[in-house]
């Protein structure tokens, strides 16, 4: 057994959950070749969730979520997402032969929706959803009710709504614990906080089975414009807080409400993890660094963890001897506009036979 299902027994799942897989998990853990070494640090690693079948860690969620739907003999996958969760659920629904219907927030960028549509998912953009908090709440409640009527549950990648799907995400920690048990610090991007919570719970579960294993510090990194968890975690408060308007431009991390946030905050604190707030500009710069210095093609949200690591190093909170892993959550292909920004200053040059010599010499 490869991938996340090899940890099935660790996850306390319904025993009759059918094994359903598209090859999720078992992702690479690679050492920084330039970003770390250039500042004298050889203890920086990247967990490449970009290598999952649909291009993000959400495939770990979708594998278990769809297995649960199959197990309950539901006939449909209902979800809300404008990004990676939707793409993952659309892929796994297609493979499971389930219709997949996804409610999309008004104004969701078209680029993020194409992959879902390619898998045959039906997408519905609902007026006011994600814009007006009143409408959003009503739409969500209605979807949840429709889900129950359809003998299923609404799929959202959060423990609050889909604890079984989220157990799939805990497999990230199991893989790290096996590949690099000596890691001491994990940097995790947070929108609603579900990923960081899953990472903590995964390591804690590993520790239950292997009491000698030391749970690393799990740090929660958020864009300043979506400071629901990280600031309060840093400042010693015991609850997450909603933001009135998620001002960050980092797609996938614009989650204004709290959801798993308070549990995430407490869980990270349990591990002695800290909160890091980063600017959008720092994130975009880290996306560039990952591509140009490491050959890692990440979407902006996937570069947030590195931005947090840099902040921790520069502030002296992280020591050069601390073995750190940044979770790179999603593939660069996921966010075409961010790639356009990356490449703007590196145009194709047009040459002819005569002029080419000069350009192909070593500088």
Scan residues 121-150 and list those touching a second copy (CB under 8 A).
122-128, 135, 138-139, 142-143, 146, 149-150
Beta bridge partners of 123: 102
Q: Provide, rounded to whole angstroms, the least separation between the CB of residue 11 and a second copy.
A: 20
> Does 114 sit near a second copy (CB under 8 A)?
yes
From 48-56, 193-201, 229-237, 310-318, span contacting a second copy (CB under 8 A):
48-56
Of these, 4, 5, 13, 55, which contacts a second copy (CB under 8 A)? 55
185: left (phi > 0), else alpha (psi -120 to 50), else beta? beta
Report which of 60, 36, 49 is spatially closest to residue 188, judged by C-alpha positions: 49
Beta bridge partners of 102: 79, 123
Q: Which of helix, strand or coil describes residue 225?
A: helix
* CB-nearer residue toward a second copy: 10 or 26: 26
Q: Provide, rounded to whole angstroms, the least separation between the CB of residue 24 and a second copy.
A: 8
Report which of 206, 195, 145 is spatially closest to residue 328, judged by C-alpha positions: 195
Structure letter (DSSP) for residue 330: B
* CB-nearer residue toward a second copy: 226 or 287: 287
Of these, 52, 84, 271, 305, which contacts a second copy (CB under 8 A)? 52
Scan residues 282-301 and list those touching a second copy (CB under 8 A).
291-297
Q: Which residues of 219-246 are buried (b: 16+ CB within 10 A; e: fewer)?
A: bbbbbebbbbbbbbbbeeeeebeebeeb
Binding track over 82-101 against a second copy, x by CB under 8 A:
--------xxxxxxxx-x-x
In total, the chain counts a number of residues equal to 363
Q: Provide, rounded to whole angstroms, the least separation between the CB of residue 235 and a second copy.
A: 37
* CB-nearer residue toward a second copy: 127 or 212: 127
**φ/ψ of residue 235, rounded to 5:** -90, 10
d(CA 83, CA 62): 13
Scan residues 332-361 and list those touching a second copy (CB under 8 A).
332-333, 336, 339-340, 342-343, 346-353, 356-357, 359-361
Scan residues 151-210 and list those touching a second copy (CB under 8 A).
none
Scan residues 5-44 and list those touching a second copy (CB under 8 A).
21-23, 26-30, 33-34
Q: Report how many residues bind a second copy under the rule CB under 8 A.
A: 87
Q: What is the sign, positive or negative, of the torsion defined by CA atoms of 119, 121, 124, 125?
A: negative
> Does 72 sit near a second copy (CB under 8 A)?
no
Q: Provide, rounded to whole angstroms, the least separation between the CB of residue 219 and a second copy.
A: 23
Of these, 53, 165, 192, 330, which contacts a second copy (CB under 8 A)? 53
Scan residues 313-332 and list those touching a second copy (CB under 8 A).
331-332
- What is the rounded (10 degree) CA torsion for 221, 36, 58, 330? 100
- What is the rounded (10 degree) CA torsion for 173, 176, 177, 182? -130
* CB-nearer residue toward a second copy: 143 or 255: 143
């Amino acid at each position: 057994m490869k991938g996340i299902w090899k940890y099935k027994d660790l996850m306390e799942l319904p025993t009759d959950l059918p094994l359903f897989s598209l090859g999720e998990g078992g992702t690479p853990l690679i050492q920084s070749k330039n970003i770390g070494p250039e500042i004298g640090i050889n203890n920086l690693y990247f967990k490449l969730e970009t290598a999952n079948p649909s291009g993000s860690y959400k495939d770990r969620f979708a594998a278990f979520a769809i297995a649960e739907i199959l197990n309950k003999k539901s006939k449909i996958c209902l979800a809300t997402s404008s990004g990676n969760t939707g793409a993952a659920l659309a892929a796994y629904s297609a493979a499971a032969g389930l219709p997949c219907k996804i409610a999309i927030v008004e104004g969701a960028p078209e680029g993020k929706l194409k992959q879902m549509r390619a898998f045959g998912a039906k997408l519905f953009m609902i007026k006011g959803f994600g814009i007006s908090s009143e409408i959003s709440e009503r739409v969500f409640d209605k979807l949840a009710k429709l889900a129950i009527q359809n003998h299923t549950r609404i799929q959202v990648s959060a423990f609050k709504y889909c604890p079984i799907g989220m157990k799939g995400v805990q497999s990230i920690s199991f893989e790290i614990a096996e590949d690099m048990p000596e890691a001491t610090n994990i940097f995790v991007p947070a929108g609603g906080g579900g990923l960081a919570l899953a990472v903590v719970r995964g390591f804690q579960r590993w520790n239950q089975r292997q009491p000698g294993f030391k749970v690393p510090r799990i740090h929660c990194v958020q864009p300043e414009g979506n400071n629901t968890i990280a600031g309060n975690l840093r400042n010693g408060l015991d609850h997450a807080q909603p933001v009135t308007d998620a001002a960050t431009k980092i797609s996938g991390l614009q989650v204004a409400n709290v959801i798993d946030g308070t549990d995430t905050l407490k869980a990270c604190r349990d591990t002695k993890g800290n909160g890091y707030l980063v600017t959008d500009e720092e994130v975009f710069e880290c996306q560039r660094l990952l591509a140009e210095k490491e050959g890692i093609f990440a979407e902006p949200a996937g570069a947030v963890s590195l931005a947090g690591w840099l902040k921790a190093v520069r502030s002296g909170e992280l020591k050069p001897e601390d073995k750190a892993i940044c979770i790179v959550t999603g593939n660069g292909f996921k966010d075409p506009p961010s790639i356009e920004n990356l490449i703007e200053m590196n145009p194709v040059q047009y040459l002819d036979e005569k002029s080419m010599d000069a350009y192909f010499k070593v500088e």
